[in-house]
């Protein structure tokens, strides 16, 4: 099902009216979001070129990632192929990073589980610690004005499941009154 831009602008208001203006109770219905591989590949393609600097001073290497392809989901992991070029040391490789999700105190994070690359002068380096986790805490935070009462609508991620063809997100709708000063 496709949702147009107009529907996305009206959706928070409709949800807020349906749920009431008070804080959400424990029984508020969840929303399921299913993300297809094609959408994830589009996001990856939009995020490149992505640059990472490795080393320090004279041995600094700039790695540039481009051309993501061959995206695969499975066993709770996301993998794909990505071209990696470096300068000033000659690096031109196709890498196969592995991403997983983990649940922390503040919600889910997408983390690099493995991203090994061979760099002349450095040897084999796993870049997993050089790429910060991506927070998956909420899909939407929108301020609303419900009958003159400022309210925050949040669609918070409660669970992430990676299957063969999709990433499924279970989310919770939260309405919180905002205090005015």
pLDDT at 123: 82
CA gap 82, 115 in Å, rounded: 10
Mean confidence (pLDDT) of the chain: 82
Q: Which two tokens stand for residue 163?
A: 């299957």
180: pLDDT confidence band, cut at 50, 70 and 90?
low
Contact between 91 and 71 under an 8 Å Cβ cutoff? The reply is no
pLDDT at 179: 81
pLDDT at 9: 39
User: Among residues 78, 118, 128, 72, which one has the least CA distance to residue 94?
Assistant: 118
pLDDT at 119: 81
- The predicted-structure confidence for 120-129, as pLDDT tens digits, reads as follows 777 888 888 8
- What is the rounded average pLDDT of the residues 131-152? 89
Count each helix (H run) and each strand (E run) in the chain, helices first.
2, 13
User: Among residues 117, 126, 73, 79, which one has the least CA distance to residue 98?
Assistant: 79
Contact between 109 and 99 under an 8 Å Cβ cutoff? The reply is no
Q: Which two tokens stand for residue 41?
A: 């590949």
0.95 exceeded by the pTM? no
Give Cα separations from 107 to 80, 86, 111, 134, 158 (angstroms): 24, 34, 13, 11, 7
Q: Which two tokens stand for residue 153?
A: 């609508």
Q: Which two tokens stand for residue 34?
A: 């299913």
Rg, the chain, Cα only:
21
pLDDT of residue 24 exceeding 50: no
- The predicted-structure confidence for 31-79, as pLDDT tens digits, reads as follows 899 999 999 999 999 999 999 888 777 778 899 999 999 999 988 999 9
């Amino acid at each position: 099902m496709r949702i147009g831009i107009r529907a996305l602008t009206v959706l928070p208001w409709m949800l807020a009216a349906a749920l009431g203006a008070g804080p959400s109770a424990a029984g508020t219905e969840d929303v399921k979001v299913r993300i297809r591989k094609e959408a994830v590949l589009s996001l990856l393609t939009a995020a490149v070129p992505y640059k990472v600097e490795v080393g320090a001073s004279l041995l600094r290497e700039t790695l540039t990632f481009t051309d993501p392809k061959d995206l695969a989901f499975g066993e709770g992991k996301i993998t794909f192929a990505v071209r990696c070029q470096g300068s000033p040391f000659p690096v031109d490789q196709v890498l196969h990073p592995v991403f997983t999700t983990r649940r922390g105190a503040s919600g889910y994070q997408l983390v690099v589980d493995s991203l090994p690359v061979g760099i002349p002068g450095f040897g084999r380096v796993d870049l997993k610690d050089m790429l910060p986790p991506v927070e998956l805490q909420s899909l939407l935070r929108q301020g609303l004005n419900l009958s003159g009462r400022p309210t925050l609508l949040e669609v918070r991620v409660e669970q992430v499941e990676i299957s063969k063809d999709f990433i499924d997100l279970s989310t919770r709708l939260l309405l919180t009154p905002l205090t005015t000063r």
